[in-house]
Copies of this chain bind each other. A is one copy, B any other.
Amino acid sequence: MTSYQHQVIAVTHSPYKEKFAVPRQPGLVASAKAELEMLPPYDDINAFNGLEAFSHLWLVFEFHKNAPSSDVANRWSPTVRPPRLGGNRRVGIFATRSPNRPNNIGLSLVEYHGVIQRDGKIFLSLSNIDLVDGTPIVDIKPYIPYADSIPDAKAGFAQTSPEKLLAVDFNQDAVSQLQSLPSHYSGLQLFIKEVLQQDPRPAYKKLKTDNKIYAMHLSDFNIKWQCTTSTITVLSVDYV
C-alpha cells in the first residue's frame, strides 16, 4: 500500500494537558489560547509574511495519542459511535471527524493573532483551539472564506452547534484559589467555565446528574468538579 511521509513543522503549546476536556470541535471555547512553536527550518520569519491579513488558519495536525497510522490495518473499524448521537448509534467513520480514522490526520480551524518572536524562536498566537498540548502540526494554511465558507452546507446530525447544556458555578474554595493567582491567569476562570459548559463527561452522561468528582489538567492547574442537578460546580483549582 502506498503511503507518504509528513514532517512535523510545529508543536502546540496548549492549556489542554490531556484529551479529557478538549472540546469536540474547534470554535466552541473562544478563550482557549495556544501557541504554535515553529521547528527549524520552518522558523523563518519570512514564511509568515502576509499572514497578518488573515484572521483564521487551518491546522493540519497529527492525533499523536493514537496508535501510529501504519498500524491501521490492525485497528481499522469502518464505524464509530459519535458523541453527538449519545454514543450509542454507529455511523460510518467518514461521516464523522472521530480521531479514530484510517490516518491520524486532524483538521482544526483556529483564530490567528500574529507571530511572536521570543528567545530566538518563532511562535504563532492562536485562540479558539481544540488541540491537546504537544500536538504535532504538519501544515498551516490560511482560511479563505470565498473557498471555505459554505453556511448552507448540509451536515445531518452535526447541523447545529452543540448546546451549552450546563450552568457552571464555582464554590467558595475555588473562587478563593482563583482570586489568589497572579494576574496573567486572569482569563482562567472564563476558560474553565467555557470548557465545562460543553460537558466533557462521556456522551451517555449528558444531562444526567452524577456524584463522581472529576479532575482535569488545564493550563498549570488541576481542576476538580462535580455535576449535580444540571449544574457543574468547580470544587478546587490547584497549582500543579
A interface list, Cβ under 8 A from B: 1-9, 25-27, 39, 41-42, 44, 46-56, 58, 60, 62, 68-70, 72-73, 76, 78-79, 90-97, 101-105, 107, 109, 136, 138-161
Contacts and interface: CB of A to CB of B under 8 A. Distances in A.
A58 to B, nearest CB: 6
Nearest to A76: B41
A78 B46 contact: yes
B156 A145 contact: no
A78 to B, nearest CB: 4
Given A95-B142, A146-B159, A5 B2 contact: no
B153 A143 contact: yes
28 contacts: A2-B7, A2-B8, A5-B68, A25-B144, A26-B147, A27-B147, A42-B78, A42-B102, A46-B79, A48-B92, A49-B79, A49-B90, A50-B157, A53-B154, A54-B155, A54-B156, A55-B154, A58-B107, A94-B140, A96-B142, A105-B139, A142-B156, A142-B158, A145-B151, A145-B159, A146-B158, A146-B159, A151-B151
Contacts of A103: 6-7, 9, 60, 138-139
A28 B8 CA distance: 31
A29 to B, nearest CB: 12
Contacts of A95: 48-51, 53-54, 142
A4 B48 contact: no
Contacts of A150: 56, 109, 143, 145, 148-149
User: What number of copies of this chain does the assembly contain?
Assistant: 2
B109 A148 contact: yes
Contacts of A104: 4, 6
The residue among A97, A103, A107 with the most chain B CB atoms within 10 A of its own CB is A103
A156 B56 contact: no
A155 B138 contact: no
A172 B26 CA distance: 53
